Every structure is written in structure tokens, then in C-alpha cells.
Amino acid sequence: MLARVPYLLAVLGIAFAAPHSAPKIKERIHAPRDWINVGDAPSNHVVPLRIALPQSNFQELERHLYEISDPDNVRYGEHLSKEEVEELVAPHPDSVHAVNEWLAGHDISEGDCVRSPAKDWITVHVPVAKAEAMLDTKFHVWKHAKDEDSVVRTTSYSLPEHMHAHIELIQPTTLFSRLTGYRATSHFSGAQEHPAATSGTITVNGHEVDASCTTTITVSCLKQLYNAVDYVPAATQKNSIALTGYLDQFANFADLQQFYADQVPAAVNSTFNVTFINGGVNNQTLSAAGGEADLDVQFALGIAFPTPGTFYTTGGSPPFIPDTDEPFNDNEPYDAWLDYVLAQKTLPQTISTSYGENEQTVPESYAKRVCAGFAQLGARGVSLLVGSGDAGVGDGDPDPATQTCLTNDGRNATEFLPGFPASCPFVTAVGGTTNIPEVAVDFSGGGFSNYFARPSYQESAVTEFLTKQLPNGTYEGLYNPAGRAIPDVSAQADYFRIFLSGQVVSIGGTSAASPAFAGFVSLLNDARLSHGLPPLGFLNPLLYTRGLSGFHDITSGNAPGCGTPGFNATVGWDPVTGLGTPDFGKLKNIVL
């Protein structure tokens, strides 16, 4: 059993001294840009309030995570069990008791509550009228100016003062985020393939690469470029890889078969498992196939074949439509996905997600709580890869000419805007490259978090970049030099040849780079498992130390945004391509 860190009993004692304290603001935000208040929310509209109780021992979990992820620590690879993680994040019994009493005071019984396995989240479905009474607030219908999606939200909520020590946050209240696929739609070329290249080969980093790879990226191209041509997975009974799907992105089985016939003939007639979460579906009508979903499964599974694969399809992002009987709107699929995977006894060793949003559109308290969920995955031995974004240093708009890059805090100041969840220090953020030899692709998301401090594993690499590459106050005031730096690594991110709705298309984005990189991580996990070693788990402490020699440094290119050229790719780590692109052969030798 893991040791528990003593809880702040003194604080709790003070809290219980005032059981009937007056409401006090728990969270307040400025009305977010592009969201328009169109009126009061219907009193009978049902909202799924998710109540986060403080994770009393999260600092201890974080200590364990860094020890078992540090290749120079004697505990390296000693991942925690589901039960050990739950013990560390479980709320203090006093908080559980206090929240139960508060809920009972609003006529919410235990039967109305859905609790996470660690009891650190409680979900209750209540009508707007009751939510307003519980939170001393007023909910409104908000419509987005660009696409007219609507949500029921408030810009502030309150709790009795004595409850502040027992409730970390409640959502959806102030969460106006807009989860999107990190696909560079301006780089999606429909049925038109990139022009054919000349025949022959090119020598890159000591490896022969087909010249056709300069214009069209295939599984074979990536294996040649990243030195994995001869590797044959051997631990397929132990190893697995997974991709996440949101926003009605459906992965098509027929498209995968065409892709395999085209690029991985040995994989024809193999497929992937589908896990349905929170009402997620996977419509197999050919016209419903999603470019994001098809890209993810085709390249990640194509690279890792014959490693078993899973596609998580998560529902829970329908907009509220005021003139329908929509029972509730749940725009927090991260929560739904984390609830499911953290409840599982066994997990895929490698998971990739190609979805995200502007960090500033996610309330800081919520972003940190979701990030803590990702830390739990790392502690259990999962390598989680995420795309770094497709707008350079900009605001999510892939067209630099129309980016506003304005803060959402009422100042309307111009700043570089990092993406989330790439900004979470417990994930591996993947930027993008293009061409052969590789250069930074011009949409590769990068920068510095405003929510998360720079983690210790980045200190040396990022400090060197700031000192040598941004002298004399370059971009001063536009970014947070003390923040978690993005991305960590990179991979090819444009002109990927996929099959979509039965047609060959070319697609790009860090949504291509993340599943591609994840495919090679899965092969590294296979190598370790084949040698009786545990999976890699949280990658970053390894990558920034022993792993450095296993990357091709990308020193050319930049990713513009916010009316600037953005950051440059340069020698060493940089906020465009991170540490660079992988050399699987070298990394395999490093991790064995």
C-alpha cells in the first residue's frame, strides 16, 4: 500500500466550523470572445454537473510518476496499479462527507450521484433551476458567432464559503472551450493527390528513402525515414495501441482495408476494436467516414501492425439547441473519456489524440484537473501523444492572416496562444515537419503555456533555447518564458496518403504527426515487452535525457502566427519541432 501524505486537517477544521456559511465566488470569467448571450436558459433544461473533489495526495502521485519515468531512477518502469493510483487521488473522507451533506441539502440523494472509481468526481444531472440555486448563479444560452453552436453556461458561480476547501471545481459552468480536431483543413486536398515525384532514392540521415516520399507520405516512407524498415513486432499478445475519436469522427473499416491493400498488404483482413464511450458511435456509412478518424487509425495501425489497435469513440459534445428537448449538453468529452479509461483494469500502452483547443478557452482549474487525469495514465504505464496544433503560435485559426491572437481575460491583449492539452506537462506534444530532408512545417503548433510551469525535465533544453535563440527581448510580452514548452517532439505532418470514403486523398496536420509518432512509440513498447521489460509509460523524462541522441534535429523552418514569423526551428530543442524527429533504431537501442 502506498503511503498517504497528511491532509490539511487544520484547513478542514476551519471549514467545518462554519457549516452554514454564505455563498462566495468560486470561479468567475470574462464573457469569452465570439460567444453571445442570447437569453436565459430554460429552467427545466438538464445540465450534468460534474463536481471535482480535491485529490488529497496528487503531489505524491506526481512524485511517483517522475520516479518511475526517470531512466536514471532505480524505480524506472515500476508503474502503479489502478488501485494504487486511485488510492493516491482519492479525496479525503472529510471532503466526501461535506459534499454529501451539501448535496443532501439540495435534495440530491446518493442514488442521484455517479462517482468515479477514485470517488474524486461526482456527476449529478439537475435542471437549470436547481443548478442556479446550488451555485447561486444564473445560466444563459450562449451562441457562437461563427457557427451558431449554442451552450448553456454562466460566467461565474458560488459555493458556501465552508465548501471551497472540499470542492475544486464544478463544470460545465464556465467552460466555453471548443474541442476541435487538429487537422489543417487548409492542407486537405480532397481527391487531388500531391504531384508525383521522380523515381529513385534519397539518402537522409544515413538511410535510403524513396524519392516519392518528398511529395506523398506513406507508411513505408515513414519507416524508411525513421529507421524502422526491418523491425517486426513480436509482443502482440501483450502490446496494444489506441486512438481517440470525438466530434462524430468515424473510423471506417472499408477505408482501412483499401489503405492496407495500398500500403500494408500483410495487414489486409485485419481490423481494430471499437470502444463506445458516453454514447459514442462509429457510423460505417461510407459517406460518414471522418478524415481525422481514418487518418489516425490508418497510419498508427499501419506503422504498428500487427499490434492490436482500439478506436475510442467518445460522444458528449452535442450543442444545446434551445427549441428542442435535448435533455442535457455535455461539451466535456475529455472527462467522459478519462472516466472510462481510468476505470479499466488494463490499458493500451500507447494512446494518440489529435484533438485540442486554445488553452485560454479552457478554465485553468479545469485544464489542471484534466491534466491530472493524464498524469494518472502515465503513472499506470501509458504513453499519451497529442498533436501540438495547426496554427503555429496563433489562436487556432489555420490562416495566419485572419488570426486575432487576443487574450480572453478582458484585456484583449495580443499574445501567442498555446494549445491544450498539448500544454499539459504529462503528455508528449507532437509538432510537425515536411519535405525530405525535413524542415518545420509552417503550421506546427508551439509556444509556452500560461497555465503550467516549465517542468524540470525541460529545464536544460528550453533554457538553452531562450538564452541563445531569443536574445534581447525577442517577442517579449507575447509569451510566458516560464511556461511548459511545446512541442516535445515532431514527425512528418503533411501530404499523408489516406483512403476516405473510398477515395484516395492527401491530408495534413499535427493530427497526422501524432498518430505517426505514436506508431513508432508502440514499436518501442513492443521491443521492451519482447525483452521482458515494462512499457515506456510517460515518455518525456526519458526523451529529454537519454533519448536525446535518438532524434534527428530539425534546424530549418518556422511557424508564423499573430502577425509575426513565429518561432524558428534551430539547433537543439525549439518551440516548432521540439527535440526533432525519431530515429527508431537508435531509440530502440536506448530503451533496451
For residue 384, give Cα distances in angstroms to 274, 387, 574.
18, 10, 21
DSSP 521: H
Distance CA(388)–CA(422), nearest Å, equals 5
CA nearest neighbour of 29 among 419, 410, 395: 410
Q: Is 107 exposed, middle or buried (0-12, 13-18, 19+ CB in 10 A)?
A: exposed
The CA-based diameter of the chain, rounded to the nearest angstrom, is 78
For residue 279, give Cα distances in angstroms to 126, 172, 282, 337.
19, 18, 10, 11
Distance CA(405)–CA(397), nearest Å, equals 9
Positions marked active-site? 292, 296, 511
- Cell digits of residue 259: 489503405
Q: Which helix (H) or strand (E) holds 432?
A: strand 428-434
Q: Contacts from 266-274 at CB under 8 Å and sequence distance 24+?
A: 266/305, 266/306, 267/301, 267/302, 267/305, 267/306, 270/305, 270/306, 272/297, 272/301, 272/308, 272/309, 272/310, 272/311, 273/308, 273/309, 273/310, 273/311, 274/310, 274/311, 274/313
CA nearest neighbour of 567 among 460, 420, 442: 442
Query: Phi first, then psi: what are they for 155, rounded to 5°?
Result: -100, 0
Name, in order, each residue with C-beta under 8 angstroms of 60's C-beta and a sequence gap of 6 or more: 2, 3, 4, 5, 88
Q: What is the three-class DSSP state of 567?
A: strand
Distance CA(168)–CA(393), nearest Å, equals 31
Distance CA(390)–CA(186), nearest Å, equals 10
Residues in the chain: 592
**Can you tell me which residue has the cell 509556452?**
448
Question: b/e string for 283-302 if b means 16 or more Cβ within 10 A?
Answer: eeeeeebbbbbbbbbbbbbb
